[in-house]
Amino acid sequence: MYKKLGDQTVKFENPPRIKGFYSIVGEKEGQGPLKNFFDMIVDDAKFGENSWEKAESKFIETAMSNAVTNAEISMKDIEYVFAGDLINQCIASNYAVRQIGRPFFGLYGACSTMAESLSLAAMCIDGGFAKNVIAATSSHFCASEKQFRFPLEYGGERPPTSQWTVTGAGAVVLSNDGQGPFVDYITTGKVIDLGITDMNNMGAAMAPAAADTIISFFKDTEKSFDDYDLVITGDLGSLGSELLKDLLTQNGFTVSSKLQDCGVKIFDAELQDVHSGGSGCGCSASVLTSYILKSMEKGIYKKVLFVATGALMNPIITQQGESIPCIAHLVSLGTEV
């Protein structure tokens, strides 16, 4: 059976279920507007480890282990782990999965990784290759600043367009049974690059990719904003979100307050000095596994489009004059609650 709709969308025959999930964030995220939704808030940026990299690995491992506990299964029931992160060579995930001890597909989708991992996990379940799998990702403010920008001790100034990498992780157990929210469609992004070269303006770079994927989904499925209660992007931030609204409006869509962004929701723009908002793989992952899924379980949202966005450059290639290629992956979630 061929499960494609249009050019980029899959409609699942037996929509996989979210059987368990878990969110864990750092101190700053735990002081923000979503503080009551997170499962764990860790005040120590090193999480008891001796480096930020090892701390990030412990964040994602904690999210994966607890998501499995919440699913009321054991780790040996997990057939595959789909995970990745921002650190060079994805070491946060690699070292976490060393502890987990299950078959592993490592991913790199930058900040789109939560939607990428969920997409592949859903294909894996619906295709009959597994009964239970994990999809997860993480990021860490200190590890990211050190790697992509400046050492923290340098105290570099952040321009107004910049975003704040979320310290946190989210993990989901996807299953072929259960009563949790289901994944009924995915739309996989193409790489879109409109020529932005400013690494401190990721929202502007990523907005066209988000628009492209959302428009493709609506075209492929013949659905519209009316069919969803919430359409939430990953980490466009306040500036990128405005650009996305413009792009969707230009393409004939009537954009309402249904269109939101995890990077805007996770921090208080006025009180927390994060400039354009949150970012990083852990941003959309921790918001999905707290605010979004918990609101769905309560019946506040019945149909959600989760659209995580990623910027696929690195500092070397932007220093060589290249622009920033971006991608957005979409996952359609639903619930009968």
Instruction: List contacts with its own copies (CB under 8 A).
Output: 1-4, 8, 10, 13, 50-51, 53-54, 79-80, 84, 86-91, 94-95, 97-98, 100-110, 116, 119-120, 123-124, 126-131, 188-191, 193, 312-314, 316-317, 320, 322, 325, 327
Residue whose CB is less far from its own copies, 103 or 299:
103
193 close to 202: Cβ distance less than 8 angstroms: no
Residue placing its CB nearer to its own copies in the complex, 13 or 273:
13
Q: Please say whether the beta carbons of 137 and 306 come within 8 A.
A: no
Q: Closest approach of Cβ 275 to its own copies, in Å?
A: 22
The smaller minimum CB distance to its own copies, of residues 85 and 261, is found at 85
Token pair listed for 267: 């921090």
Residue 328 CB, nearest approach to its own copies (Å): 11
Q: Which is nearer to its own copies, 191 or 300 (CB)?
A: 191
Single-letter residue type at 20: G
The smaller minimum CB distance to its own copies, of residues 3 and 298, is found at: 3
Residue 292 contacts residue 229 (beta carbons within 8 Å):
no
Any idea what DSSP says for residue 176?
A: S
The crossing angle, in degrees rounded to 10, of helices 141-148 and 52-70 is 140
Query: Sign of torsion, CA 89 90 95 97?
Result: negative
> Is 35 in contact with 176 (CB distance < 8 Å)?
no
Write down the least CB distance from residue 144 to its own copies, Å.
11
Nearer of residues 34 and 183 to its own copies, judged by Cβ: 183
CB of 256 to its own copies, least distance (A): 28
Q: How far is CA 209 from CA 25, 49, 221, 327, in A?
A: 27, 36, 18, 5
Contact (CB, 8 A) for 291 and 34: yes
User: How far is Cα 253 from Cα 100, in angstroms, rounded to an integer?
Assistant: 44
Our CB check for its own copies shows the closer of 7 and 273 to be 7
CB of 6 to its own copies, least distance (A): 11
Go through 82-95 and write b for each residue having 16 or more CB atoms within 10 A of its CB, e for each that does not.
bbbbbbeebebbbb
Burial of 4 (0-12, 13-18, 19+ CB in 10 A): exposed
Q: How far is the CB of 254 from its own copies (least distance, A)?
A: 27
Least spacing, CB of residue 189 vs its own copies, in Å: 6
